[in-house]
Amino acid sequence: MALELLGDAMATLIIGNKNYSSWSLRPWVLMEMLGMPFVEHLEPFEGSDNYDRFREFSPSGKVPCLVEDGITIWDSLAVVERLAEIDPRVWPESIAARAFARSVSCEIHSGFTAVRAACPMICRTQFRFQKASPAVDRELARLDELIAQGLETFRGPFMAGGQFTAVDAFLCPIAVRVSGFQLPLSSSSLDYCARLLALEPMQRWISEARAEPWVDEQEELTARKNAVVLTSDQDL
C-alpha cells in the first residue's frame, strides 16, 4: 500500500487488527473520545511477518502510525504527542495531573512486559489466567498502586481527574486484558477498568474486533498456554 493511496484530506490513523493490536487501540480511542476527526485505515496482520508490507507505510514496520499532510508519525507515544499539539485536552490541564499522566503513560509504554507477554490483548475471547509468576504479580501490584494513586489524588472518575486523557487511553488495552483474563486487581482498579470498557468507543472497538475474520494463532496459543478459555468466538 502506497502512502498516496491514503488521501491527505484528513489525518489517517493506520491500525492493526482490533482484536489484537493493543498499541493501535491507544491513539484510536483517544481520538474517538476527544472527537478528533480522522480516517481509520486497518491493515490486517497476515501471519507472523508483516514487516516488509508494513514498511511500505510505517518506517518501523509496525502499527499504529498517523499520516498527516504527507508526514508520517509512528509509535503510539509519538502519535499521542502529535495529537497533543493539535488538541490540548490530550493531557490534563494542571501541572501535577499532567506530570502524573505522562509518567504513567511512559511507564506503561515501556513496562508491564510480563503481563503483556503472558496475557496478549485478545478482544474476542474470555479467559481465566492461570500462570501467576513473581513478575506478573509485581506488575499487577504496581498497576493497583498507580490506579489508586491517580484516582485518590485527582478524584476520578478518570486516571488524572474528571476528563478522559491520554493516560486513560494507555490504560485501555490493560483494561481489556484485566477483564479478558480475569486478572486479580483491587475492586477500585476493577471498577476503573470496567468504566473504560463501558465507554462507547471501547464498546465499538470490541464489537468490531469480535466481527473480524482474522485469527493470529501465535497470540491465541500464547494466551492458551497461560489461561483457560471460558468463552470464545473462535475455535483454533
Q: Is 16 in the site for ligand GSH (CB under 6 A)?
A: yes
Beta-sheet strand order (sheet of 71-74): 39-42, 12-15, 65-68, 71-74
Q: Which stretch binds ligand GSH (CB under 6 A): 30-38, 56-64, 151-159, 221-229?
A: 56-64
Computed on alpha carbons and rounded to an integer, the radius of gyration of the chain in Å comes to 17
Pairing of strands 65-68, 12-15: antiparallel
Under DSSP, the state recorded for 4 is G
Residue number, 16 or 161, with CB nearest to ligand GSH: 16
Could you say whether residue 32 binds ligand GSH (CB under 6 A)? no
By CB under 6 A, which span of 17-25, 135-143, 187-195, 222-230 interacts with ligand GSH?
17-25
Kindly identify the residues of this chain, within the stretch 125-144, that bind ligand GSH according to CB under 6 A: none
Cα–Cα distance measured from residue 140 to residue 218, given in angstroms and rounded to the nearest whole number: 24
User: Cell numbers at residue 84, please?
Assistant: 497533543
CB 227 within 8 A of CB 121: no
Q: Which is nearer to ligand GSH, 105 or 189 (CB)?
A: 105
Q: Please tell me the distance from the alpha carbon of residue 102 to that of residue 100, in angstroms, as a whole number.
A: 6
Among 18, 62, 124, 177, binds ligand GSH (CB under 6 A): 62
When binding is defined by CB under 6 A, the residue of 6, 11, 18, 23 that contacts ligand GSH is 23
Q: Tell which positions 63-122 bind ligand GSH, by CB under 6 A.
A: 63-64, 75-77
Summarize as ranges the residues that interact with ligand GSH (CB under 6 A).
Answer: 16, 21-24, 45, 50, 62-64, 75-77
